[in-house]
Amino acid sequence: MEYINLKNSELRVSRLCMGGCPMGGYDWGSDIREDELIDAVHCAVDSGVNFFDTADTYGLGQSERTLGKALKGKRHQVVIASKFGVHAKKGTPTFYDNSPRWINESIDGTLSRLGTDYLDLYQVHYRDGKTPLSEVVGALEDLKKAGKIRYYGLSNIHENDRAEISSFEGRFVSFQEEFSLACRKNEKDIQTLSRDLNLTPMTWGSLGQGILTGKYNRDNVNFQPGDRRARAVYVNFHGEKLQKNLEIVEKLRAVAAKYGKPVSAVAIRFILDYLPLSVVLCGVKRPSQLLDNIQGCDWHLDADDMQLLDEASR
């Protein structure tokens, strides 16, 4: 396993972070079982993964409950991150909310579901477009003083957020953004923000919601209505984007065969090498997927293979 320190912090984390979105169970298909999710978490810890990321909105808290159950007795071994800012309750409209009132309500629910009295990293899931960042930072600093969180970070921000965030340089430690061989649109933002704001980038969608595992082709992407990937908004599995991704996967297969690695491991390795100070987030449903993903660590793609994948995905 590879480890780095998150910027502006004492948090030393594995560069492969287990993401908690599938753990929420919501619209990720009918093949999700809690026992397999818990086994995957245990497998991750045993394999050197010490970083786990979730959010209160994943399955309306189900992801946090399952992760807390899986990490019972292992809290001292791991770094736990969660996110706030999506005001979601069953039966009511969902909206973004960064207000101090919601932050304080959210953290208590998160800690209770995770079964811990503190978070290592608390992240703004989405900015709400109205709450000044100074109020958000003030509320987060109060949580630090109260011992409920150790550090805080950001998610889904872009270059045009830089000016506001720069006023608080050194306060935030990380930010999350979508990036993979299937999604290069945020690349400039990631490089600019990590450099100019001294933040550790964390990539989500690192396997393109699964298209970069090599599991899918044109004949098996007919997802059931209960699977979010059936929706057109999940572009990786539809139309011309699907065709482009399948072409990328063929390049991945060739490179994977050369190194004797799973396809997903090569997709992960590309990010780790392309963004050498990053953390790669990958959600899994079962231990076998986790074991494939960790094979993306502790080796490097050579320059020719990096160029091949870089060009194929642009």
Which stretch of DSSP H or E encloses residue 175?
Answer: strand 172-178
Residue 310 lies in a domain: no
Q: Which residues are catalytic?
A: 58
Each residue of 18-69: pLDDT tens digit?
Answer: 998 888 877 666 778 899 999 999 999 999 999 999 999 888 889 999 999 9
Residue 314 lies in a domain: no
Each residue of 259-291: pLDDT tens digit?
Answer: 999 999 999 999 999 999 999 999 998 999 999
Residue 292 lies in a domain: yes
The angle formed by the CA atoms of residues 205, 285 and 123, to the nearest 5 degrees, is: 45
Whether residue 107 contacts residue 77, with contact meaning beta carbons closer than 8 Å, is answered with no
The angle formed by the CA atoms of residues 224, 91 and 105, to the nearest 5 degrees, is: 115
Q: How far apart are CA 75 and CA 204, in angstroms?
A: 23
Q: Mean of the pLDDT values across residues 190-195?
A: 93
Q: Which residue range is the domain that position 133 belongs to?
A: 3-212+262-302
Q: Which residues of 32-63 are buried (b: 16+ CB within 10 A; e: fewer)?
A: beeebbbbbbebbbebebbbbbbbbbbbbbbb
Each residue of 207-222: pLDDT tens digit?
Answer: 998 899 998 888 888 8
Residue 239 lies in a domain: no
Residue 254 lies in a domain: no
Domain count, the chain: 1
> Residue 8 sits in a domain of what CATH number?
3.20.20.100
Residues in a beta bridge with 79: 51
